[in-house]
Structures are given as structure tokens and as C-alpha cells.
Amino acid sequence: MTKIPFSKVVCDGHELTYIREVLASGWLTTAGKTQAFEERFAESVGARFACAVNSCTAALHLALEALGVGPGNKVLVPTMTFTATAEVVRYLEADPVFLDVEYGSSLVTPDVLAEALQRHPDAKVFIPVHFGGHPAPLLSETGKGLLELCRKRGVRVVEDAAHAFPARCAGRMIGSIGDVTCFSFYANKTITTGEGGMLTTDDEAIARRTRVMRLHGIDRDIWDRFNASKASWEYDVIAAGYKYNMPDITAAIGLAQLERAELLRQERQRCAYYYLRNLAAIDCIDLPRVSVDMADHAWHLFPIILKRNAPVSRDHFIELLGERGIGTSVHYKPLHRMTYYRERYCLKPEDYPNAERIWKGCVSLPIYSSLTDDELEYICSAVADILQ
Ligand SMILES: *Cc1c(COP(=O)(O)O)cnc(C)c1O
């Protein structure tokens, strides 16, 4: 029986070497490896500051906190995302406003955003999600990109780039564009540390606040406490901060993954090309809409959408692929369908027609660096066999 899991991590770079260095150092949590990871990550996306944390969720929380989001503030988020994007808004007692997305890309479009900004002139922050690794249209030649629309209205932009490393928009790396960008190194993301995240920004005040709040609201930087001549017990607490720092063991894995990030991306792009070529003839599915260069896409996911004329339901399709040893996933059951958000904000499916259409048919196929052409062929034949 062929077994092709939905996701598989390969750690065949310098992971073990760097972990050994941490073990030998006698200090396992935040120190030099984390600092090195931050420096290399900032360099790789072209941001002034990078702050390592223990998840993307923590990064999103810290970003909103640093921007002063508080009770009753409105934050615009796509409905087609993971709950973390919206839950952090609730941590601060602010309210998410859910936006419909484009059919085929699952991205918020400038048209939808422009309408939402008119309807909610008091919105404070917009969180675009670079769905599946496809960069959201932040910048455009006509000046009508998502970021440009927000700038005109004084709305801050915190990017949820959990899917989007490495990726580019209009020639710039994701991580160097919005006010703040948040990355995830969760187990199934494009580069991983098991659990981990990174916040990037060019704004020194945001970086400073993030560094204080990620470690208990302590006013001295983590390395400073262990390296500086001033005694490590001598510090002040200037806010009720959080415990969101990244341990050095984690950063060691991150450093090794970062070295191969572009190589891994190219392998996922190979998978995407294979699917786009070999699934194009199946007329009861829609393939992901790609409106950027293939090389600007992080290719975290390959979501297809079963159309109404498909001979099997989405759920049955997933079962049949499972019987053939092929793992799949669904991205996402939209947030307007989740009990907490639906009940709290009285959300109605008819207000999200595109997300509804996507949700009813979406299936994500395996896409990762170690997926062989033989496995890709096996997956494509199985899909064609079930649907034709
Ligand atoms: C994975 C994910 C997150 C959360 O990342 P963690 O590192 O697990 O906190 C946030 N947003 C999206 C879109 C994700 O896919």
C-alpha cells in the first residue's frame, strides 16, 4: 500500500550539528542561537528587525499589542483562515470583522477591502493572510493594493505570513512590506522548528515593545541579561508581559532550515508545476488561481476545489484518496462557520458566498520537498480515476 502523508518534514541539513552546539553550551533556552536566527531571518526578508517567538500566534498577538489594539477596536480579517488570525484580536478584547475572499485564491481582494474600509471607517488594523503561500496583493502598479488602501485610511497592516516564507510581492520579500509580518515555524509549515514563530518589522518602536512583551515585560533584552556586565538579577518590569520567547534548541533547528528554505521552496514549486500540468484536464475541479510568478509563491499548500458537477462529494473524495494511501487536508472550514465566532458576531453564511463555495469543495493535496515525481504521478492518477 502506497503511503503518502499529507505533510512530511525532512531535517537533513545542519539541524543536528547546531542542536549539539546548543547542548554543549550548557544553556538551552534563549541566547546566541536565537539571536543568530533573528539576524539571518531579518537579512533574508530584508527587514530591519526580526523577533523570534514560540509561535506565529504569539507574534500576531504581540504585533496587535504593540500597535495599541485594545477593547472595542475593529480588526479586519479574512474568514478563510486558521482561527489564530482572529483569536489574537479577542485576546485584546477587540473585535474581528470577517471578510469574504476571492474564489480560487482564497485571498481578500482590494475590492472587498475597499468596501469593508468604507463600511468600517473606524477599523484599526487589517490582517491579510498570504493563503497557501500565494502573496496577497499588497502593492499594485495602480496604487490600489491592499497596503496602499490601508495607508490612505490610516489602517495598520499586520501580515499573517504563516504560509508565506519565502515569498515575494511586487519584487519585495514578504516580511519587508506591511507594518508587521508574522511567520510560523509550526510542524507542517514551509520551514519548521516544531513550534516557533518570527515577527519582522522596520519600526524600531514596535520591535522594542515586542522584545519587552515577549519576556514578561522585562525592560532588558534577553541576551543583555546574560552577556552584559550588569548583573542578570538587576532588571525592571514595565508591563504585564507574556512568556513567548524562543528557546535556543528551537532556533538551532530554525537556522538549519533557513539555510535550505529556497531549495525546499523550489522542490514544492516542482510539485505545483506537476499538479498544474497533470490535473488541468479534469473539468470537475478548479485548480488554485496563481496571479504571481511561480517563483514568488511559497507553495505551502496546493488546494483544489471540487465543483458541483464532481461525481463524488468532497468528503467521499477525501475518503477514497485515503483508501489509496494518500493523505489530504481541508483549508479551511471558514471562521464564520465556527461556533464561537458565528454566535458571538451573529455571522451568516450568505454574507460569505465565495468562502462558502470554496469550503464546500476544497481539498489540499500533499506538497513538500521530498515528494517524488512517482508519488506525484500516483496522486494525479488517483484523482483522475476517482473524478473521471
Ligand atoms: C499555522 C497558522 C497560524 C498559527 O501558527 P502557529 O505557529 O501554530 O501559532 C496562523 N495563521 C495561519 C494562517 C496558519 O496557517
Global pTM value: 0.97
Does residue 249 lie in a domain region? yes
Instruction: Show which residues are catalytic.
Output: 189
Residues 194-220 pLDDT 10s: 999 999 999 999 999 999 999 999 988
CATH of the domain at 176: 3.40.640.10
Asked if residue 104 lies in contact with residue 288, where contact means CB atoms within 8 angstroms, the answer is: yes
| 51 and 147 in a common domain | yes
Q: Is the predicted pLDDT of residue 247 greater than 80, yes or no?
A: yes
Point out the domain boundary residue: 242, 261, 280.
Answer: 261
Ligand 1 atom nearest the C-alpha of 163 is 15
CATH of the domain at 290: 3.90.1150.10
b/e map 322-338, b = 16+ CB within 10 Å: eebebbbbebbebbbbb
Does residue 6 lie in a domain region? no
234: confidence class by pLDDT, cuts 50, 70, 90: confident
| 170 and 302 in a common domain | no
Residues 148-179 pLDDT 10s: 999 999 999 999 999 999 999 999 999 999 99
226: confidence class by pLDDT, cuts 50, 70, 90: low
Beta strands 285-286 and 302-306 are antiparallel
CA 372/CA 387 separation, integer angstroms: 23
| 88 and 62 in a common domain | yes
| 190 and 69 in a common domain | yes
Does residue 310 lie in a domain region? yes
Q: What are phi and psi of 286, to 5 degrees?
A: -105, 130
Does residue 1 lie in a domain region? no
How many A from CA of 311 to the centre of ligand 1? 33
Nearest CA to ligand 1 atom 8: 186
Does residue 360 lie in a domain region? yes
Q: Which residues contact ligand 1 via a Cβ below 6 A?
A: 55-57, 81-82, 84-85, 129, 160, 162-163, 184, 186, 197
| 360 and 286 in a common domain | yes
Q: Looking at the 3D structure of the chain, how many domains does it have?
A: 2
- List, edge to edge, every strand of the sheet that includes 74-78: 49-53, 197-201, 180-184, 156-160, 123-126, 74-78, 95-99
Nearest CA to ligand 1 atom 2: 162
| 146 and 38 in a common domain | yes
Largest CA distance in the chain: 71
Q: What is the mean pLDDT of residues 36-41?
A: 98
pLDDT at 229: 65
How many A from CA of 388 to the centre of ligand 1? 35
Is residue 297 exposed (0-12), middle (13-18) or buried (19+ Cβ within 10 Å)? Answer: buried
pLDDT at 227: 65
| 150 and 289 in a common domain | no
How many A from CA of 169 to the centre of ligand 1? 20
Ligand 1 atom nearest the C-alpha of 331 is 15
Q: What is the mean pLDDT of residues 28-46?
A: 97
| 209 and 65 in a common domain | yes
How many A from CA of 162 to the centre of ligand 1? 5
Point out the domain boundary residue: 227, 261, 295.
Answer: 261
Q: Is the predicted pLDDT of residue 63 greater than 70, yes or no?
A: yes
287: which 3 cell numbers? 485548480
CA 195/CA 210 separation, integer angstroms: 19
How many A from CA of 229 to the centre of ligand 1? 38
Does residue 215 lie in a domain region? yes
| 269 and 247 in a common domain | no
How many A from CA of 313 to the centre of ligand 1? 28
Q: Is the predicted pLDDT of residue 277 greater than 90, yes or no?
A: yes
35: confidence class by pLDDT, cuts 50, 70, 90: very high
164: which 3 cell numbers? 508565506
Does residue 325 lie in a domain region? yes
Q: Is the predicted pLDDT of residue 2 greater than 80, yes or no?
A: no
Point out the domain boundary residue: 217, 236, 261.
Answer: 261
| 280 and 208 in a common domain | no
| 109 and 226 in a common domain | yes
Which range of residues forms the domain containing residue 41?
Answer: 15-261
Ligand 1 atom nearest the C-alpha of 189 is 1
| 379 and 321 in a common domain | yes
Residue 183 identity (one-letter amino acid): F
Does residue 204 lie in a domain region? yes
Ligand 1 atom nearest the C-alpha of 55 is 7
